[in-house]
Structure 1
Amino acid sequence: SSGLDGTLRGYNMSKEGHGALFLDRRGGVGITCLTGTPAVIDPEKRTVCCGYADGTIRVLSVCRNGFVLLQAQKPHNCPIRQVAYSPEGSFLATLGTDNTIFFFEVRSLGDHAVPLGFVQVPGQVSRLAWHPENCKLLLGLEDGTVLELSRPLPDSIDNSETYLFALDYRAVQPEVPEPEESEEEEGEEEEGDEG
């Protein structure tokens, strides 16, 4: 578990561990989100990626004496709202509260998050999720719109001058039906017309 006090807690839930607790506090900055690393990257499932209030991500792994920092990067200048790995474990996406999404290529546990760049979303992003089959990134916007971003292609991204790049996308805006008047409302309108 994690908290805005900057504490990362790890519990050993096995019978032998009796709920032993590991604590980690780094930088005195609040942890805003965390996710486990996919089994394809860490088969032992001991590694987590945490997003922090200062825009930093940290990848930490549990060892015998606590947490070990594997990698730290600062992709955002604002708090991180969400971190998510693609289903096959080759990408990591981080969502900032300023609606920028930073993409990393994940090669291995040791070469964990190689920066690719970021895209800016022209709306308030509530949630992101990777499509389980085609590795596209789905974004839920506050107004109900769903954006589907194409999968980043690392070989076609030139980040030598800037990390800002563009991705093809498709937007789906839900049809919101007009509310139907109830019989009670219709009766009230008729009474008002007669008077």
Structure 2
Amino acid sequence: MGSSENQRSRPERISAADFSAMTGGKSPPPGRQAPRKPRVNHRRWTARIEGDQTPFRLRLPFLPPSVNKLFTTVRDPQTGVIKRVLTQQARRIRRLVLAMIDRELNPAALYELHIDLYMSCFTRKGLVRKVDVSNRVKFIEDCVCTALGIDDSHIFRVVLTKRDAPQEFTLIEIRPLAAEDRDAA
């Protein structure tokens, strides 16, 4: 350690009466008060939702990233700890999805998620292109559910469809789970 000259002394605490006496008994002028932080409901899925609960649809002009492209390994230069973090592309997609969705769904309802991935499914020779689509679901499900204010544990059915198309895009639809399907859930 260093000498006692380099060590900081602990600040002394003062009472409210002492503080009032120091400031002359005046409160700070209205324009000089620290701005209050807005109250944020961190558990949005507990909020009450009003309005139409028709199926939610979203079209993304790209395919969701696969798990292999979601994370990268970095070393913290100060501690030397190796961490797995989201790639810049994944963070950008998450921000984009959050910005595109401007509504909320009923957090108490049960839902089914339909994801249609449109991509080139065949090679020029007519063979099936080897593209694994099942590892693309979880990330996009988390992004959409967070933006809609629902917990992804309320998704009881996931339907994933790969469709052949010249352009790549993704269609996402979240529907309320039908009453007759609720017994199976």
Higher relative contact order (CA 8 A, sep 6+): 2
| Common topology (TM > 0.5) | no
Please identify the structure whose Cα radius of gyration is greater: 2
Provide the TM-score with structure 1 as the length reference: 0.22
Structure with the larger helix share = 2
